[in-house]
Structure 1
């Protein structure tokens, strides 16, 4: 899972705009990659921590629906433009809280949650003032890479 998170994060950081794709597709793709990670992580966590696994899976499914709507239906983007940025930030904050609640004893995973919350708040603040998909997409990529690295460190202990 750690390698997948790092790989998806690098993709999002390297190609936040993916050429000339519309902003809805960029945000939708960023949220889609994040939802894929959460779904895979949630499914793999169910055996070890049922609550955390189910929460990650549910959040991943919600994010999957939102991302597909953004990618394939441009009218949804125009309708959700004002709240799309806040949704991604809120998702990062919620994910961070779930990680903290589910992993209080593991210092690396605790910091994964803290990073998620901090990046979610930054995402909301930057999204309010900077409407640059490069920056916003990169924040999700940074979270994925940081989570993958911290998860690798955590697995070693």
Structure 2
């Protein structure tokens, strides 16, 4: 019974977030911002402690901590930054998949060119979606809503 209730809540939330996409982006950005902020503080303090053993590693951790702090604060107060970074990551993954796809088609990896073709298609989709993310946080909200909807439907029909 609890699974049915959770599935229905996910489906309803998915529909609401798809109807009002920024409702999905803002909480995701704020939550991610707090997590990245905590990560940044941890790296900063760890880097300061590490300076006694290895100055180079300590400086690297402090720099990564500062970057994480800036990103965390940016995610919390500017959800568009979160959307941009998410889009940029997806875009970069898409480029890597395109390269892997081309290599797979040329080398016939796994005894089939289809692996490369599939990687190429998925890479192109990632680049398109990444471009949409970078230009408009509304698309990220729609994808979050779609994910909630799909998870709710899968939970509704799962055999567990």
TM-score w.r.t. the length of structure 1 is: 0.39
Structure whose alpha-carbon radius of gyration is higher: 2
